[in-house]
Amino acid sequence: MLITKKQNYLKRKTLKKTALLALLPLLLLGVGESSVAGFSEPSLDHRIVGFQMSAYDESSLRASGNAQSNDRDRYSKNISQFYLSLPVTEKMIVESTIVSESISGAFPIYIQPTDIRLDSAGEPINPDPLVVMSSVTEEDVRRKLSTRTTYFHDSGSVFGSAGISKEDDYRSIFAEVGGVLHFNKRANAIDFGFGGSSDNVTPLAENNPSSAASHGRESLSAYAGVSQIIDRNSTVHFGLSFTWENGFLSDPYQFVGSYSDDIFIQTPDSRPDERAQLVWNLSYRLFLPARSGALHADYRLYQDNWDVVSHTLDVSWNHSLPNNWQIIPGLRYYSQSEADFYDPYFLVSGNDGLEGSSYSSSDFRLSPYGVISLRFKVIKDIENWRITLLAENYDSDQDLGLGNVKTVNPALVDFTFFSIGVDHKF
């Protein structure tokens, strides 16, 4: 009996270590981030229940950009998130997440230049265009339900997840499977996954410039990565992911403004119906016991067949303080190039985005710009309770980008984000 108990103890201890090691490359890569964001990591030993409330608020249009609407107010969101993690067997965890997100505010519809005259270099004389905002203030509620089951074995783990997200004009069904495999005496691990989604967009009539009542799109994705434990205090992870989107990828609520023979017209946003996206990730973690903290550094390179290239550098310092306090300041830099059919407005035709085609878009999310985001997180552990506070300030600007910008898109967004979360292990 004593031998059996000892064997069971050692086996369970090995599975706990396996669970932690299996989660490591996923956390490095960011896989599953939406399901555990703000909550304690899932555990084979405890049930975890958590609740998080967040507030997202976009800044009003900048004074340098004119606005044609009732006001300059943009989106704001209030988000409630419930999380539950249950160890159903000695080797299996089931996680569930419920998200409710209320959205309100106006959004940019199109950009119109205030002066279409060009100088000798072919640049606009007055590069301060007009942002035309939606006349209807959108109010919507997004609800999302997802579940994930993870099975841990002696060499790693496998998981499967699925969920549904629904708004008044949008519905998405998604699923993913993957796993982690350790080798080389657990000094290395391979993580992999495959996923897909099926979406349907039914634009609301009052804001829909498109004649079609409903649109569908699908996506398939795959990722793979390898992690290396360098020494007892440092790890590195390299990952590669690929996503293929097919179907209706245009924004049904946006127009493209263009001048043709001195007549200003608006045509619906039109984008290719296929998009291939490739992402390279490099992550490094360094624990410094003497400093009671750990350095997290991540670099991300993104490329797609719309000619968008982006670079992301994210650095944070996880510092432990007495009495179970943690503070985590972080800095994120982002820069992207423009899509090859993007322009804030077109002075010849709205159909010259791609040579020989009819693609064109003025969406600021496809424009060239850069971002600096500052965040600060505080974590307090009180016995089996954890309280998490997070504040983030996001600033975007064309001057922060790595490339040159001929015409600024005045609809670039700045926002603040605050959240508070409480979770309990039992």
Is 225:193 a contact under the CB 8 Å cutoff?
Answer: no
Which residue spans within 43-137 are E strands per DSSP?
Answer: 48-58, 66-68, 76-87, 92-105, 108-112, 130-133
3-state DSSP assignment of residue 273: coil
381's enclosing H/E stretch is: strand 369-382
Q: What is the pLDDT of residue 356?
A: 46
Q: What is the pLDDT of residue 133?
A: 84
Q: 């290239």: which residue's tokens?
A: 309
Q: What is the pLDDT of residue 132?
A: 84
How far CA 121 is from CA of 117, 141, 406, 417, in Å, comes to 11, 48, 11, 41
The Cα 247–Cα 254 span in angstroms is 17
Q: What is the pLDDT of residue 245?
A: 97
What residue ranges do the domains of the chain occupy?
A: 2-425
CATH 2.40.160 holds for 2-425: yes
3-state DSSP assignment of residue 4: helix
Q: What is the pLDDT of residue 30?
A: 40
17 Cβ contact list (under 8 Å, min separation 6): none
Radius of gyration of the chain from its Cα atoms, rounded to whole angstroms:
24
pLDDT tens-digit profile, the chain (426 residues): 444 444 444 444 444 444 444 455 444 444 333 334 456 677 888 899 999 999 999 998 754 444 444 455 788 999 999 999 999 999 999 999 999 999 988 888 888 877 666 666 666 565 567 888 886 666 789 999 999 999 999 999 999 999 999 998 899 999 999 999 999 988 999 999 999 999 999 887 655 555 557 889 999 999 999 999 999 999 999 999 999 999 999 998 899 988 776 678 888 999 999 999 999 999 999 999 999 999 999 999 999 999 999 999 999 999 999 999 999 999 999 999 999 999 888 876 445 444 445 799 999 999 999 999 999 999 999 999 999 999 999 999 988 998 777 767 888 999 999 999 999 999
Is 159:179 a contact under the CB 8 Å cutoff?
Answer: yes
With vertex at residue 65, the alpha carbon angle to CA 60 and CA 70, rounded to the nearest 5 degrees, is 55
The model carries a pTM of 0.86
The Cα 137–Cα 143 span in angstroms is 20
Sheet holding 66-68, edge to edge: 66-68, 130-133, 108-112
